[in-house]
Amino acid sequence: MNDEISVLAKTKQQKRKKLLIEGAIIIGFSLLFALLMPLILPVFRLKLLGRFLALAIAALGIDLIWGYTGLLSLGHGIFFALGGYALAMYIKLQLPAGEIPEFFTLYGVNDLPGLWKPFYSFPFTVFAVIIIPGIVAGLLGYLVFRNRIKGVYFSIITQASLIVFFNFFNGQQQLINGTNGLNIESDKIFGAVVGSPAVQLAFYEITILFLIATYLLCRWLTSGRFGNLLIAIRDDEVRLRFSGYNPTWFKVLVFSISGALAGIAGALYTVQTGIITPNFMDVAFSIEMVIWVAVGGRGTLIGAIIGTLLVRLGRTLLSEQFPEVWLFFQGALFLIVVTVLPDGIVGWVRTIAWDKIRALFGFPKVVATYPSLEENPEVELEREEFEQKTMKD
């Protein structure tokens, strides 16, 4: 009994220590991005960083559905664009009473369409940014998962859905300005011009807060029993079904959460770029989201953030220096990751680089077990009890 108590206390102590270290790292990087970056970066570069951080929120959603659940979605551009359009519609309606957005007059529309009217309300807009992408993802997921469709077929269906949405939004000139999209840079939000430095700085800081909240949410979802179920779905769904679980609703739920996160990312990205168009539903953009997670390391969460920042930063720098061939660099990067670093940057650091660093200081190589069985005090206690029982028999 005393051994069990001591083991539980040791386990709690280890978990508490890890949480404190992780919390300190989060606080440190948050202060770095929130306080230091606005002081050292010019306005243009700071706006770019804000966009990258917004995209990292979508990458966390991709990591949740792909890295932990094993479902490769190639259609997250749908949810990203839905969130962007929802916030853009609210901003476009910040006009004097009786006026409607200017682009409607180009198509002979004199009365505001009914679809737009709820977006006069800011609370409804916030609800729409989060819930509408989540509902669309949930409905799509339910139709797919109830028929036990997975693997490459799931990826094909999400990509086909993306193409359907892309063509639909492109053809809605009289409703959402079609291929031209909604330009909000010169419009106002809360009485200030969206493109002004003050508003952009405010949304940069808001993006950091949302990124932290998103990371903590994903960390919480993947840490407990729910996270173990997601990993079980990824590794052996058939065995999970034989254990008495129905994976369908778990997959629907996590896909809905992932879609909602993409919607939040789309809204924050839109307000920092000043425009939202159907091009965000382009196939290439959804595939690029997957590349961010693959480069950083899927199933790591922090890898999704690192991968997004590195790939987007590299894309920006290379496109400025080599505008005609930078896409070849991006393709080469992805090939290197797939062939040389299949676990991404974070996976490589954890498995190879960390062992080399430990070896330099004379520490033994860590035994690779799943999930860290050699370091789990509870497993060690069970092993000792089993050995004692075996000796008695």
More confident of the two residues 69 and 384: 69
Angle at 297 between CA 17 and CA 80, to 5 degrees: 105
pLDDT tens-digit series, residues 26-85: 888 888 888 889 989 898 899 999 999 999 999 999 999 999 999 999 999 999 999 999
> Would the pLDDT of 370 be above 80?
no
pLDDT tens-digit series, residues 69-121: 999 999 999 999 999 999 999 999 988 887 888 888 888 888 888 899 999 99
Q: Rounded to two decimals, what is the model's pTM?
A: 0.87
Does residue 371 have a cis bond before it (omega within 30 degrees)? yes
Pairing of strands 182-183, 188-189: unpaired
Q: What is the pLDDT of residue 191?
A: 84
Can you tell me the distance from the alpha carbon of 163 to that of 105, in angstroms, rounded to the nearest whole number? 28
- Would you tell me how many other CB atoms lie within 10 Å of the CB of residue 104? 18
Backbone angles phi, psi at 183, to 5 degrees: -95, 120
Q: What is the pLDDT of residue 385?
A: 72
Work out the percent of the chain whose per-residue pLDDT is above 90: 46
Can you tell me the distance from the alpha carbon of 150 to that of 231, in angstroms, rounded to the nearest whole number? 15
Can you tell me the distance from the alpha carbon of 140 to that of 160, in angstroms, rounded to the nearest whole number? 12
pLDDT tens-digit series, residues 253-300: 999 999 999 999 999 999 999 999 999 999 989 999 998 999 888 888
Residue 276 belongs to what H/E stretch?
A: strand 275-276
> Residue 257: which of 269, 249, 245, 247 has the closest Cα?
249
Indicate the domain borders of the chain. Answer: 45-291
